[in-house]
Amino acid sequence: MATEFVIDGLRATIENKEILKGVNLKIRGGEVHAIMGPNGTGKSTLASAIMGHPKYEVTGGTITLNGEDVLEMEVDERARAGLFLAMQYPSEITGVTNADFLRSAINARRGEGNEISLIKFIRQMEKAMKELEMNPEFMHRYLNEGFSGGEKKRNEILQMMMLEPSIVILDEIDSGLDIDALKIVAAGVNSMRSEDRGFLIITHYQRLLNYIKPDYVHVMMQGRIVKSGGPELAERLEAEGYDWVKEELGIEDETVGQDQDEFVVPMNTIAPKFN
Ligand SMILES: Nc1ncnc2c1ncn2[C@@H]1O[C@H](COP(=O)(O)OP(=O)(O)O)[C@@H](O)[C@H]1O
Ligand SMILES: [Mg+2]
């Protein structure tokens, strides 16, 4: 079945503050969507809510992957169903090597009786690490422990390449990367683009989108997608910043979860429900 990931009217709270206030998004296989927006507008919260992070409570709306109810799934089931998140701030796990972690994750996805052979696993991991220009020693280092910001980001992309998810969410994968590392990471992502895989790329800056060309660009403010367009929207944001969007919406504060009691962007100005 063709990949189709649909978020409809998603609302989520953290510590009783509502952060997501009705997010709509549809990603089909083969498509790359970018979500851009200033800090504090709910972008990472959206990523966490999709993956089922226990701190975030979904209070409304639906998420489906190929018609299956994602919100009903446990975190590990979501990964097995094909959802993948490269985190903005990957965690360090002492005592678990990168290779052990990845092999467990792959085998969990493949299921019992269908585990990847050690030889095949190592060959694939070596190949992907070479593509990402990672030092082979990272195979046996503890997961993310003592990795630089850029090394953590490459390692997230390594996981993505090995796990072959059907929906890939990258949260600020460009932060902390110099231009050479950015190009390597982008090449890794581009090598994974395919008709049965969709991407959601969350980024603050347009720069990454010079290397990973999005089909759709969305702007998030106050916990909603307030504007959608094509790649030209990202270019305008790069040239002019976000102020003109705020002016169009008639809002001064684009953040969410601070002191605002209710959503102040008029309903008739927000982006159409789906592309
Ligand atoms: N773990 C958390 N605990 C408390 N508040 C949080 C947490 N995560 C996010 N928030 C709040 O949610 C709002 C949106 O944050 P976030 O989703 O990280 O925005 P973005 O990724 O767009 O910068 C912020 O006001 C932030 O303080
Ligand atoms: Mg964030």
Nearest-atom number in ligand 1 for the CA of 255 is 25
Residue range of the domain that includes 208? 4-86+147-269
The model's pLDDT over 193-245, given as tens digits with 9 standing for 90+, comes to 999 999 999 998 899 999 999 999 999 999 999 999 999 999 999 999 999 99
Residue nearest to atom 6 of ligand 1 (CA): 14
Give percent of the chain above pLDDT 70.
94
Axis-axis angle for helices 149-163, 179-191 (nearest 10): 10
Q: What is the mean pLDDT of the chain?
A: 93
Ligand with the closest atom to the CA of 39: 1
Residue 32: the pLDDT is 98
Query: What is the 120 CA–ligand 1 centroid distance (Å)?
Result: 40
Inform me whether the pLDDT recorded for 274 exceeds 90.
Answer: no
Query: Is 19 among the domain residues?
Result: yes
Question: How far away, in angstroms, is 88 Cα from ligand 2 center?
Answer: 6
Ligand 1 atom with least separation from CA of 172: 21
CA of 257 to the centre of ligand 2 (A): 13
39 CA → ligand 1 middle, Å: 9
We report the CATH number of the domain holding residue 172 as 3.40.50.300
47 within domain boundaries: yes
Number of domains in the chain: 1
* Cβ–ligand 1 contact at 262 (below 6 Å): no
**Among all ligands shown, which has an atom nearest to the Cα of 36?**
1
pLDDT digits over 137-173, tens only? 999 999 999 999 999 999 999 999 999 999 999 999 9
pLDDT > 90: percent of the chain: 88
State whether the beta carbon of 13 lies less than 6 angstroms from ligand 1: no
Question: Which residue's CA is the closest to the ligand 1 atom numbered 25?
Answer: 257
From 150, 212, 226, 168, select the one nearest 47 (Cα to Cα): 168
Decide: residue 214, CB within 10 A, 0-12 exposed, 13-18 middle, 19+ buried. buried
Whether 262 has a pLDDT exceeding 70, the answer reads no
Does residue 139 form part of some domain?
A: no
Check residue 154 and give its pLDDT: 94
42 Cα: distance to centroid of ligand 1 (angstroms): 6
> What separation in Å is there between the alpha carbon of 76 and the centre of ligand 1?
23
In this structure, is residue 137 part of a structural domain? Answer: no
Residue 261 pLDDT more than 60?
A: no
| Ligand 1 and 253: CB distance under 6 A | no
pLDDT of residue 273: 73
| pTM for this predicted structure | 0.94
Q: Is 23 in the pocket of ligand 1 (CB under 6 A)?
A: no
- Residue 66 falls within a domain, yes or no? yes
Of 15, 16, 43, 44, the residue with max ligand 1 atoms within 8 A of its CB, to mutate for a pocket test, comes to: 44
Confidence grade of residue 267 (pLDDT, cut at 50, 70, 90): low
pLDDT at 176: 85
What tens digit of pLDDT does each residue of 87-126 get?
A: 989 999 999 999 999 999 999 989 899 999 999 999 999 9
What pLDDT does residue 182 have? 95
φ, ψ for residue 136, nearest 5 deg: -55, -25
> How far apart are the C-alpha atoms of 101 and 236, rounded to whole Å?
41
Q: Indicate which atom in ligand 1 lies nearest the CA of residue 39.
A: 23
Q: What is the pLDDT of residue 259?
A: 64
Is 128 inside a domain boundary? no
Q: Which residues surround ligand 2, an ion (CB under 5 A)?
A: 43-44, 88
pLDDT tens figures, 43-81: 999 999 999 999 999 999 999 999 999 999 999 999 999
206 in any annotated domain: yes
Considering only CA atoms, which residue is closest to atom 18 of ligand 1?
44
Kindly tell me if the per-residue pLDDT of 266 is higher than 90. Answer: no
Question: Which ligand 1 atom sits closest to the C-alpha of 220?
Answer: 22
| pLDDT at 264 (0 to 100) | 64
The pLDDT value recorded for residue 205 is: 87
On whether residue 107 sits in a domain, the answer given is no
pLDDT of residue 50: 98
